[in-house]
Amino acid sequence: MPTPPLLELRQVSKVYARGLLAREQVVALNKVSLTIDDQRPSIIAVAGESGSGKTTLGSLVLGFIQPTTGAVLYRGQDVARLNGAAYLRFRREVQAVFQDPFAVFNPFYRVDHLLETPIAKFKLARSKREARRMMEDALNAVGLRPEEILGRFPHQLSGGQRQRITIARALLLKPRLLVADEPVSMVDASLRATILESLRRMRDEHGISILYITHDLTTAYHVSDDILVLYAGNVVEAGDAEQVIRQPKHPYTQLLIDSIPWPEVDRRWGSVELVQRDGAAASGGCRFFARCPAAMPRCAQSAPALYRVSEAQAAACYLHEGQPVALDEVLRASDRAVMA
Amino acid sequence: MTMNQNAAPTLRVSNLRVTYYTDAGRVTAVNEVSFALAPGERLGLVGESGCGKSTLALALMRMIKPPGRIESGSAIVRTDKGEVDLFALDEEDMRRARLSVISYIPQGAMNALNPVLRVGQQMIDALQAHVPEMSYQAMRERAEQALESVELKRSVFNLYPHELSGGMKQRVCIAIGILLSPRVIIADEPTSALDVVVQRQVMETICKVQAQIGASLILIGHDMGLMAQVMHRVAVMYAGRLVEVSPVRALFTRPLHPYTQALIQSLPRLDNRGVFRGLPGLAPSLLRLPSGCAFHPRCAQAMAVCAQVVPKPITTADGRFVACHLHDSVDSDLTPAPVLQEQSHANAPAA
């Protein structure tokens, strides 16, 4: 029997209902499938604007919320049904780094507390000395000098240092999967490169796969192997990072990439026409219809499938209707290496 | 571009110094900052958190609160009625100058609007405070025109802030900022909370209205991408001082200061995928600034003199400004800057 994938999302939807009899329904995520292979660690970026469902996706993977339909499987086991030792193992092997490096610290404790807690909780060390060594190793691994960090209070450290401590904390537990939700958006531009470097080292030196959730396509391009672009809860484009950024096939991805302010004076932004059409967001149609410069009448009627536009790229747009419909395998991250 | 390089500068800041008196000692957040802004010019102000860029903006608005204090310097704005030194105005005149001479678009416009007042009322309030003689109808017309100029519908006048998206709220703040056609607009990271497409639209709107009313713009931020896309010149701040001010193209292609060079190299561009070069070290605490040039402990090109002497700012022949010992009279193109007009454009006549 082949080993089950590390992480598998099978047609996962999340619907938030409100009002009496749940009359108002908000589809935060619509039938998203994604597979991260167990064999080859990779970084998968989940990119989208606010409200695209990217954080919902992260919360589902972390088991904080349950899917309305579909299933999230971790090593073949449904995350919603984990219990006992399997649940504890999941909690240890799947770690998270969040956006705000200020909010995760309790200002009354020294930063050591953040590192000591998981060691105690999962009984990782047999002695204080061993615990100390583990903490020092983890800090070294993210490029921090332990003697400058341990014993300090959070307010004595910069945002970049704090964010790297939260990555060190995740690293302590030797996870298999890290969910990093906007880890650099609140960090100074000059420190971003250092943190992204830490993420890449987690993949290369520690064999950890990373779900990198972000609104920033420039960092997604730089750090990830594959990119999944979400729009209003739907996967609109997915595939190899280089291809998606350099040759985006979905009009939405094209618009996003065109709007990136590259720090280059000769690469101008903003040549794609901005459209706002009325009678939009009709149920059943493509969710991007209202803003799409290439929309056709049929786009308002029914939503397109995810078409496979190349070996390692798929786009959910009728412009590519001639192509074969992509099954989940395009979203299977590490197969890309075989295909390419 | 409507920037006029040859005209007398709209704003001339000279030797500005702002200090905070804290329990741990006196902190100089803005130290001997001088620069000039041409009419219609868009100047970017970049630097790491805590480098003093927001303090500089607040100082120009005279909104520094104790324990902070403007110690010295002048900020002269050229208006239709002549020149005014913002730091010499009394409180009442400064109140009038805000919005009509110099206006401020805050970071996180989401929190800048009053949630219990309609947008229109907040705009009327601003107008009433400055032109009380104006009739309600005229004020309303002016407010709705301002909304239109930032690409909002006139009907937004009657809405509450919670009925607007983040981008719309930011546009309302811009509309308020331009209500009285100020000469200088300071925008403090106006798009940092917005999605990329909205960010692009809002930036385009800011530039459009800024050009329309002929104001100069100071954009504070740390997104070098935005700077590359929309600014004419960029000023780089480090530990309270300006270390380089250059035209945008020169800054990105031939940065002069080692800090700017490291900053430019750390940026994720399209053609350097996967190449990471973070800045070594950390920004210094303003309480314990390194001796000499504050950047020397992180500088790959530091020399012995850098730890001892604060580098004197100089203006190059092509009008760039840099404060670094590497450029100390080594290059014959470089001449010491005149005392007051260090970074004014090469052609700008002394006012």
pLDDT tens per residue, range B61-76: 999 988 899 999 999 9
Note whether A274 contacts B197, CB cutoff 8 Å. Answer: yes
Most B-contacting residue of A161, A186, A265, A274 (CB-CB within 10 A), to test interface: A265
Establish if A129 belongs to a structural domain.
no
Are β-strands B314-315 and B335-336 bridged in parallel, bridged antiparallel, or unpaired?
antiparallel
In this structure, the answer to whether residues B174 and B193 fall within a common structural domain is no
3-state secondary structure of A305: coil
Q: Is residue A245 scored above 50 in pLDDT?
A: yes
B12 occurs within a structural domain: yes
Give the rounded percent of residues in chain B with a pLDDT score beyond 70: 91
Cβ-Cβ contacts under 8 Å, B227 against chain A: 263
Contact status of A255 with chain B (Cβ, < 8 Å):
yes
User: Residue B350 above 50 pLDDT?
Assistant: no
- Quick one: average pLDDT of B92-120? 89
**Domain C-terminal end among B181, B197, B215:** B181
B196–A259 CB contact, under 8 Å: yes
Query: Does the ipTM exceed 0.85?
Result: no
Q: Which residue of A has its CA nearest to B198?
A: A259
For residue B58, the model assigns a pLDDT of: 92
Which of A184-198, B92-106, B122-136 comes out lowest in average pLDDT?
A184-198
Which three-class secondary structure state does DSSP give residue B317? coil
B52 with B36, same domain? yes
Q: Do the Cβ atoms of B279 and A262 come within 8 Å?
A: no
pLDDT higher for B329 or B267? B267
A266 part of a folded domain: yes
Q: Are residues B82 and B193 in the same domain?
A: yes
Domain presence at residue B109: no
Q: Based on the domain organization, do B172 and B26 belong to the same domain? A: no
How many Cα neighbours within 13 Å face the side chain of B264? Answer: 21
- Domain co-membership, B176 together with B193: no
Picking from B199, B139, B151, the residue whose alpha carbon sits closest to that of residue B175 is: B151
> Are B176 and B29 in the same domain?
no
By the CB < 8 Å criterion, does A100 face chain B?
no
Report residue A155's pLDDT band, with 50, 70 and 90 as the boundaries: confident
A148 inside domain: no
CB nearest A193 (choices: B199, B277, B283): B277
**B23 and B49 within one domain:** yes
Among B152, B181, B210, identify where a domain stops: B181
Total domains, chain B: 2
For chain B, the average pLDDT equals 87
The stretches of A145-216 forming alpha helices (DSSP H) are 146-149, 159-172, 189-206
Q: Is residue B190 one of the residues assigned to a domain? A: yes
pLDDT band, very low/low/confident/very high, at A86 (cuts 50, 70, 90): very high
- Comparing CB atoms, the residue among B229, B263, B278 nearest residue A269 is B229
What single-letter DSSP state applies at residue A109? S
The whole domain housing A246 covers 241-340
Report residue B332's pLDDT band, with 50, 70 and 90 as the boundaries. Answer: very low
Length in residues, chain A: 340
Mind giving me the DSSP string for B253-267? HS--SHHHHHHHHTS
Q: Is residue A258 part of a domain?
A: yes
**pLDDT tens digits along A13-67:** 999 887 777 677 788 899 999 999 888 899 999 998 888 888 899 999 999 999 9
Least CB-CB distance to B278: which of A193, A219, A259? A193
Q: Is A201 within the bounds of a domain? A: no
Burial track A290-300 (b if 16+ CB lie within 10 A, e otherwise):
bbbeebeeebb
Q: Which residues of A touch B252 (CB under 8 A)?
A: 263-265
**B108 lies in a domain?**
no
Q: What is the pLDDT of residue B1?
A: 47
Name which of A284, A308, A312, A313 is nearest A298 in CA terms. A284
Same domain, B132 and B47: no
Q: Are residues B212 and B243 in the same domain?
A: yes
The answer to whether residue A231 is domain-embedded is no
Q: Contact, A31 vs A12, CB < 8 A?
A: yes
Range in A142-151, A245-254, A259-268, B273-282 the model is least confident about = B273-282
Residue positions counted in chain B: 351
Expressed as residue numbers, the domain containing B66 is 1-101+182-351
Task: Read off the pLDDT of each residue in B18-37 and give the average, rounded to a whole number.
Answer: 91
The count of structural domains within chain A is 1
Mean pLDDT of the region B218-233? 92
Look up the CATH number of the domain holding residue B241. 3.40.50.300
- For residue B335, name the pLDDT band (cuts at 50, 70, 90): very low
pLDDT at res. A327 = 65
**Distance of alpha carbon A49 from its chain centroid, rounded?**
13
Q: Which of B196, B201, B278 sits opposite A274 (nearest CB)?
A: B201
Q: Please indicate, yes or no, whether residues B187 and B177 belong to a single structural domain of this protein.
A: no
Is residue B106 situated within a structural domain?
no
Residue in B17, B222, B208, B204 with CA at minimum distance from that of residue B107: B222
Residue B165 and residue B190 share a domain = no
> Considering B181, B203, B219, which residue would you say is the last residue of a domain?
B181
Interface contact flag, B48 A190, Cβ < 8 Å: yes
Residue contact B195–A270, C-beta within 8 A = no
Let me know whether B204 and B76 are in one domain: yes
